[in-house]
Amino acid sequence: MLVVTQSYTGNLMSLLAVRYIPQPFQTLRALLDDSATTMIWEYDTAYVNYFRTTEIGILKEVREMDAAGQVQYVLATEYPSMLRGEVRLGSHAFIGEDLTIKVLMAQHSSDPLPLAGSCDFYTSRESFMPFLYCMIGPKHSPLVQSVSKRITWITEAGLYDHWMDSLSLNSTVCERPPTKITVRTPLSLGNVWGMFAILVVGNAVSLLLFLVEVLAGHHLHYLLTATSSWT
């Protein structure tokens, strides 16, 4: 056990305190298999319309959960209260667009300083149901082709992703938070009970051996005395 004594506080600090952060929902299958967790979707979106009309695959199971009342719907204006309430408590899981989730996680971090990298939520490693964003213009308009070409240039150059990431400095940190972190925490009796248990057991064994030696010595002395008297 590695400990250090701080001269100013006089507290023993553990330098090897490792905390494990559970992240159970990495796939949609894992979320469907957990009946205790309710899924949250944004109300009346293309995603919802898609799984409500599908007849095959895993999204059909989502439709069945919706029919059973295990899917909750929220408006975009209800995102803050939803994250602070149901999702933070762990009873619900929000399913939404990748960009929306990144922005929401960064905005609702427990740390007021985004650069500190604190994050209260995590995203799954699995993604599904891709949809393309587009701009709609008048039919046969010469501007459509010109705008489409420039949008393609911006996307291929990576400027769009760069601009989205720069909206919040904490978005990339919250996207894939670590499952293990090392922290410095004051030692408590619960952390060192094993050390005291070994000490007590060791002393008890030592005392027992000492008593055995004393009794064995007295017994040996008695045998020697009895033998001398008989002789």
Tens digit of pLDDT for each residue in 184-212? 666 666 666 777 888 888 889 999 998 98
| pTM (two decimals) | 0.59
Q: Same structural domain for residues 117 and 223?
A: no
Per-residue pLDDT at 174 exceeds 70: no
**Encoded tokens for 186:** 């004051």
Predicted confidence at residue 188, as pLDDT, reads 67
Phi and psi at residue 147, to the nearest 5°: -65, -40
**Average pLDDT, stretch 54-68?**
90
Q: For the segment 125-164, what is each residue's pLDDT rounded down to a tens digit?
A: 888 777 667 778 888 888 888 888 998 898 889 888 788 7
Domain count, the chain: 2
Q: Which residues make Cβ contacts (< 8 Å) with residue 59, sequence separation at least 6?
A: 50, 51, 128, 129
Residue 126 placed within a domain: yes
Average pLDDT over residues 215-219: 81
Question: What's the domain range around 199?
Answer: 194-230
pLDDT mean across residues, the chain: 77
Within a domain: 176: yes
Q: Which is more confidently placed, 106 or 82?
A: 82
Residues 95 and 209 both lie in one domain? no
Query: What pLDDT is recorded for position 157?
Result: 92
Query: Which one has a higher pLDDT value, 184 or 79?
Result: 79
Residue 171 has pLDDT above 80, yes or no: no
User: Measured at the alpha carbon of residue 213, what is the angle toward residues 208 and 216, in degrees to the nearest 5?
Assistant: 120
Q: Are residues 123 and 200 in the same domain?
A: no
| pLDDT cut 70: percent of the chain above it | 71
By CB neighbour count within 10 A (0-12 exposed, 13-18 middle, 19+ buried), where does 112 fall? exposed
The reply to whether 174 and 225 lie within a common domain is no
> Average pLDDT for residues 55-84, to the nearest whole number?
90
Which range is most confident: 22-26, 59-63, 105-109, 225-229?
59-63
Instruction: Say if residues 73 and 41 touch (Cβ distance below 8 Å).
Output: yes
Average pLDDT over residues 61-81: 91
pLDDT at 114: 44
CATH number at residue 96: 3.40.190.10
